[in-house]
Amino acid sequence: MLEFSAEVIRWQQFLIRCLGGYNSNNTRRSSKNICSTTIKMQSLMSIGSPSLEVDAINILRKITPSLDPSRHKGQAGKIAVIGGCREYTGAPYFSAISALKIGADLSHVFCTKDAATVIKSYSPEIIVHPILEESYNIRDEDKRSISGKVIAEVNKWMERFDCLVIGPGLGRDSFLLECVSDIMKLARKSNVPMVVDGDGLFLVTNNLDLVKGYPLAVLTPNVNEYKRLVQKVLQCDVNDEDGTLQLLSLAKGIGVTILRKGGSDFISNGETVHAVSSFGSPRRCGGQGDILSGSVAVFISWARQFEAAKGETGLSPTISGCIAGSVLLRKASSLAFQTKRRSTLTTDIIEHLGQRFFCCITF
């Protein structure tokens, strides 16, 4: 039977306590739930490898650049978030501010005009571009010209970015998604990495050609988004008994790196599968995926810099970036939960990113 890390064992014991205390009835019921979770995790982690768990902290340390006073603004990362509409302004902010909290020098948000003022009010640190439009706000005869203006504006900035985050708070307006599709095509042409999350995954699932065969694309699906991708690409349902093989097939079939979010995060580029199982938090407040997408974007840019400087051909930058982003979010979530417990919010986790990051790279 697969031996779990000490952190995973502690996570299981913690869940048993949270699920009902220690009276005999609750303990039996909780133990049964934990057993079911353990079996699923074992099936995911045991196929094809005796252990998929990686030394995530070491990878994070390895790709993190030093704070060198000779470096100038922008060399530690320039990230752009494509998302934010009338209904959803928090998600792009969470992604963009997380990138800054981790250590990116500049963070941009390309959003709709309705969302721009709200996002600007959250923080003066973020550079906001109010250039996107939704269908309700424009006439049909103006769509082509507006779309052209959007792409022209993004094109002026594209070569400056180290990574894009596509999807936080994007919404599903048809014209908005068309414009974002063109932005993704432009990013591919410019060889800029992309982290696709949220409504960006809805867009990609319905148009796989946007990322198909692009090794610098990362998809970060949750359980439902992963299910839709599996049904679309593999034309079957999710099978956790052959979880790693199915993830390998899915990543290989699309030609991208996939970070499958869950109790443990599983990461594959179609060639290997790696797991990050550090205990995070039982509090599942919305917005944690946005922290992850911004974090992964920064770490991918750093991993690419590291690879270019050192010439190493170990883990790919997309794999390294996913592993580092995953473990940092889990560490920050754990620390925030220790303080806030059930009242933990995404903003609390963001505030703990810096502290946890410092601990990860210094100890």
Using alpha carbons, select from 136, 91, 95 the residue that is nearest to residue 113.
136
Predicted confidence at residue 313, as pLDDT, reads: 65
Q: What is the pLDDT of residues 36-83, one digit of tens each?
A: 443 344 444 444 344 799 999 999 999 999 998 888 999 999 999 999
Predicted confidence at residue 311, as pLDDT, reads: 81
Query: Helices (DSSP H) in 47-125: which residue ranges?
Result: 56-63, 90-102, 113-122
Query: Helices (DSSP H) in 64-173: which residue ranges?
Result: 90-102, 113-122, 143-158
Predicted confidence at residue 38, as pLDDT, reads: 39
Q: How far separated are the first and last CA of the chain, in Å rounded?
A: 31
User: Residues forming the annotated binding site for ATP?
Assistant: 261-265, 280-289
Predicted confidence at residue 310, as pLDDT, reads: 86
Looking only at the bridges linking them, the beta strands covering 127-132 and 106-112 are: parallel
User: Residues forming the annotated binding site for (6S)-NADPHX?
Assistant: 169, 222-228, 290
* Total Cβ atoms within 10 A of residue 75: 13
Q: What is the pLDDT of residues 338-362, one digit of tens each?
A: 999 999 999 999 999 999 999 998 8
Cα 125 → chain centroid: 21
Predicted confidence at residue 363, as pLDDT, reads: 65
Contacts of 194 (CB under 8 A, 6+ apart): 163, 164, 165, 166, 184, 187, 188, 211, 214, 216, 217, 218
Distance between CA atoms of 342 and 306, rounded to whole angstroms? 39
Q: What is the pLDDT of residues 270-307, one digit of tens each?
A: 999 999 999 999 998 999 999 999 999 999 999 999 99
User: Residues forming the annotated binding site?
Assistant: 169, 222-228, 261-265, 280-290
Q: Looking at the predicted structure, is the pLDDT value of residue 32 above 90?
A: no
Torsion angles phi and psi, residue 81, rounded to 5: -105, 125
Using alpha carbons, select from 108, 107, 109, 104 the residue that is nearest to residue 89.
109
Predicted confidence at residue 37, as pLDDT, reads: 40
